[in-house]
């Protein structure tokens, strides 16, 4: 039985975009054991994926805040020792960064990655035993699928399947919508006044929920909710609980953030709002009703968002 390690650590959107590659690999290599090395914050979601046998969490985001602290150095060393102690037949690094390539080099097994013309950080390609050329003009989902197929000896077939069963995640019988205003990058934010205007326009018949991940995001959620009767702000929850919230939503409106991509992967009706990035190669992919609005430097209007919600919620 082959033991295969996938390395895709972050961000959340990148992690979700790698999930179809796992579904492909499971179909092609049904007898293999698949391990996924991922950032610790995203491990709860990855553990729920049906194609994944084991998850190895790492903490680069936390480590880099105090990289020279003795406790951090000790934790990094112990984490690398645990990775080094394992034996893998094949290692696939679809992250394509120096830090992920270093992890691949630490692990035992034949290391696969993008070649220098295909990778985000060309120096990283030098850490791999086998280098594969994959066009950078393809969507991230397809790049992950093709790299994994080249590494493991198969050709991906059909449309992308994220392997996430919306019905299995959802446990809510109530009707609500989720507004994902939160993003760590200011240029990706849609104005707070726009969110309030949109929420008011959506009317009181659908309960609106505004999740958050940081204290500034919670304050923003609370300000928006305070201006909209019936809107609510949930408690902070781990990612697997947030996934349940999103899977059960009647629809989602969100900016370019990982949770928006999760909604698309579930097939939840989605309006994706782009303001500081372009959706071409990293936009949402899914089999549900989906409308993408805006682009870098060209945010959509409130009216456009209201019309888009009406479109994705209109009875078939």
Distance CA 290, CA 309 (A): 10
- In sequence order, the β-bridge partners of residue 92 are 6, 112
**Res. 205 pLDDT band, cuts 50 70 90:** confident
Do residues 287 and 307 make contact, with C-beta atoms less than 8 angstroms apart?
A: no
121 and 200: one domain?
no
103 and 193: one domain?
no
Residue 227 lies in a domain: yes
248 and 130: one domain?
no
User: How many independent structural domains does the chain possess?
Assistant: 2
91 and 189: one domain?
no
Residue 196 lies in a domain: yes
129 and 214: one domain?
no
Choosing from 96, 119, 152, the residue where a domain stops is 152
Average pLDDT along the chain = 96
Backbone angles phi, psi at 11, to 5 degrees: -80, -175
Helix (H) or strand (E) segment spanning residue 55: strand 54-58
Distance of CA 36 to the CA centre of its chain: 14
* 258: helix, strand or coil: helix
Averaged pLDDT, 79-91: 96
Which single residue is written with the structure tokens 């609005």? 293
Averaged pLDDT, 132-137: 98
pLDDT over 90 for what percent of the chain?
94
End-to-end CA gap in the chain: 46
Q: Which of 101-115, 160-174, 284-298 has the lowest mean pLDDT?
A: 160-174
128 and 89: one domain?
yes
User: Exposed e or buried b for every residue in 111-144, given b needs 16+ CB within 10 A?
Assistant: bbbbeeebbeeeebbebbeebbebeeeebbbbbb
Residue 174 lies in a domain: yes
What strands, in cross-sheet order, belong to the sheet with 108-114? 54-58, 33-39, 3-7, 87-93, 108-114, 130-132
Supply the pLDDT for residue 71.
93
Supply the pLDDT for residue 77.
95
**Which domain does 59 fall in, by range?**
3-152
Residue 159 lies in a domain: no
95: nearest Cα among 4, 17, 162, 9: 9
Supply the pLDDT for residue 206.
85
238 and 193: one domain?
yes
Stated length of the chain: 316
16 and 80: one domain?
yes
Residue 275 lies in a domain: yes
202 and 61: one domain?
no
User: Exposed e or buried b for every residue in 171-182, given b needs 16+ CB within 10 A?
Assistant: eeeeebbbbbbb
Choosing from 152, 181, 209, the residue where a domain stops is 152
What are the CB-based long-range contacts (under 8 Å, 24+) for 303-306?
305/194, 305/198, 305/253, 305/271, 305/273, 306/198, 306/201, 306/202
Pairing of strands 3-7, 251-255: unpaired
Distance CA 136, CA 79 (A): 32
Choosing from 101, 129, 152, the residue where a domain stops is 152
Residue 191 lies in a domain: yes
Averaged pLDDT, 114-121: 97
13 and 135: one domain?
yes
Supply the pLDDT for residue 78.
95
14 and 55: one domain?
yes
Averaged pLDDT, 61-77: 93
CATH number of residue 98's parent domain? 3.40.50.2000
Residue 119 lies in a domain: yes
Backbone angles phi, psi at 148, to 5 degrees: -65, -40
Averaged pLDDT, 242-263: 97
Averaged pLDDT, 260-288: 96
* 155: helix, strand or coil: coil
The structure's pTM equals: 0.95
Residue 157 lies in a domain: no
- In sequence order, the β-bridge partners of residue 91 are 5, 111
Distance of CA 88 to the CA centre of its chain: 25
pLDDT at 172 over 90: no
13 and 82: one domain?
yes
Contacts of 286 (CB under 8 A, 6+ apart): 162, 263, 264, 265, 266, 267, 268, 270
């Amino acid at each position: 039985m082959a033991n295969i390690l996938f390395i895709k650590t972050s961000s959340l959107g990148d992690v979700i975009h790698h999930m179809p590659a796992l579904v492909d690999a499971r179909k092609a290599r049904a007898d293999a054991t698949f391990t996924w090395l991922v950032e610790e914050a995203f491990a709860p979601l990855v553990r729920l994926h049906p194609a994944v046998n084991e998850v190895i969490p790492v903490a680069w985001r936390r480590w880099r805040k105090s990289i020279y602290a003795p406790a951090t150095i000790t934790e990094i060393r112990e984490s690398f020792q645990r990775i080094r102690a394992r034996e893998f037949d094949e290692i696939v690094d679809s992250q394509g960064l120096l830090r992920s390539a270093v992890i691949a080099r630490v692990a035992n097994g034949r290391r696969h990655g993008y070649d220098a013309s295909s990778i985000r950080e060309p120096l990283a390609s030098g850490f791999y035993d086998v280098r594969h050329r994959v066009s950078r003009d393809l969507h991230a989902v397809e790049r992950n699928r093709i790299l994994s197929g080249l590494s493991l000896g198969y050709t991906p077939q059909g449309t992308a399947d994220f392997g996430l069963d919306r019905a299995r995640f959802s446990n809510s019988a109530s009707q609500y919508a989720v507004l994902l205003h939160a993003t760590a990058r200011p240029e990706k934010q849609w104005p707070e006044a726009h969110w309030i205007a949109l929420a008011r326009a959506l009317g009181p018949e659908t309960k609106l929920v505004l999740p958050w991940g940081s204290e500034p995001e919670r304050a923003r959620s609370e300000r928006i909710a305070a201006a909209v009767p019936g809107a609510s702000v949930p408690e902070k929850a781990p990612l697997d609980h947030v996934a349940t919230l999103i899977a059960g939503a009647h629809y989602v409106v969100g900016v370019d953030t990982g949770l928006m991509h999760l909604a698309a992967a579930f097939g939840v009706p989605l309006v994706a709002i782009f303001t500081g990035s372009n959706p071409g190669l990293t936009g949402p992919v899914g089999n549900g009703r989906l409308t993408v609005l805006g682009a870098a430097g060209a945010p959509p209007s409130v009216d456009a968002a209201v019309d888009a919600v009406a479109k994705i919620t209109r009875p078939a």
